[in-house]
Structure formats: structure tokens, C-alpha cells
Amino acid sequence: MNKKILMDLVGLELIALVAIVGYRLSPMLLPKADLTVQPDPACNLQREACRVALPSGGELTLSMGTRPVPLVKPFEVQVTTSGFSPQRVLVDFAGIDMNMGLNRPQLTGRGEGRYAAEVTLPVCITGHMDWQATVLVESGNERVAIPYRFSTGEHD
């Protein structure tokens, strides 16, 4: 067999292997939860902090440190909990209609149930972007997701 043909076959096999591994690992990029709690859809993160009661007890509040939420400029995202003490708090920012890449900071505990992290959201070329900020809280053996939706850009 020709050496070039052999190299081409090895290259194709490597590409196929990368595709298969990527397909198998892609669910790891999505936020997973044992329980999803829907917040009040009337709450607007661009104007106010949004609070939700958790079925297992306790409350969680999500707040954006800067309002309106800026694009391509760092701002602080804050989560406050009461009635429970999570081991880990993350917020997954995802574009609703456009993949904007992985943006899932882990929040740092600030004491008394307060958690925060600095975040920068990328800009969309259209100027307007619909987002979902999913708060992921790990407490005990349970992982709870609370998906909040908000918009940035010219239609705020």
C-alpha cells in the first residue's frame, strides 16, 4: 500500500475518533441537575433581584451587580441563599438563539449565604441578545438548577 494512502487512512480514523469522543463528551458541557425550579417569569434581572423558594426548603436570590447588564464589560453576579448552605454555586450563561461559548463561573462564598463572581458577557453582532442564566446549586447530594431569562442590547 502506498505510504500516502496509509497516512490518509490514519488521518481519517483520527478525525472519526475525535468526532466520536466529542459527541460522547458534549453532554458534560451542559448544566445537569437533579431538580429544576422555575423562577417567576415576571421577574426581570435587568431591573431587580429575582428570588425563588426551593421545594426542599430555603430561598435563593440572583442579582446582577450592574443594571442593565453590560456586554463586553465585567460585572458582578451575586447569589444569596437562606435556609440552606450549598457546597457549590455556579451560574451558567448561555445564549438562547446563539451559542456564545461556555461561560459558567463558580461563585466564591462571601459569608452569610452570599456568593459572587465577576462575569463578562460577549457581545452579539445584532446588538440584541436573549440569555439564560442558570444558577446551579449543589447541596448535599442534590444539584438544583434555576433558569432565569433576560435580554441585553438595544431592546432592554
Full residue range of the structural domain in which residue 119 is found: 33-152
Q: Sorting pLDDT into bands at 50, 70 and 90, what band is 25?
A: very low
Clarify whether residues 25 and 40 are in a common domain: no
Nearest to 63 by CA among 89, 88, 35, 85: 89
Clarify whether residues 39 and 25 are in a common domain: no
Cβ pair 149, 64 in contact under 8 A = no
78-125 per-position pLDDT tens digit: 999 999 999 999 999 999 988 888 899 999 999 999 999 999 998 766
Clarify whether residues 48 and 110 are in a common domain: yes
Clarify whether residues 26 and 42 are in a common domain: no
The total number of structural domains in the chain stands at: 2
Cβ pair 151, 97 in contact under 8 A = no
Clarify whether residues 63 and 130 are in a common domain: yes
Clarify whether residues 75 and 14 are in a common domain: no
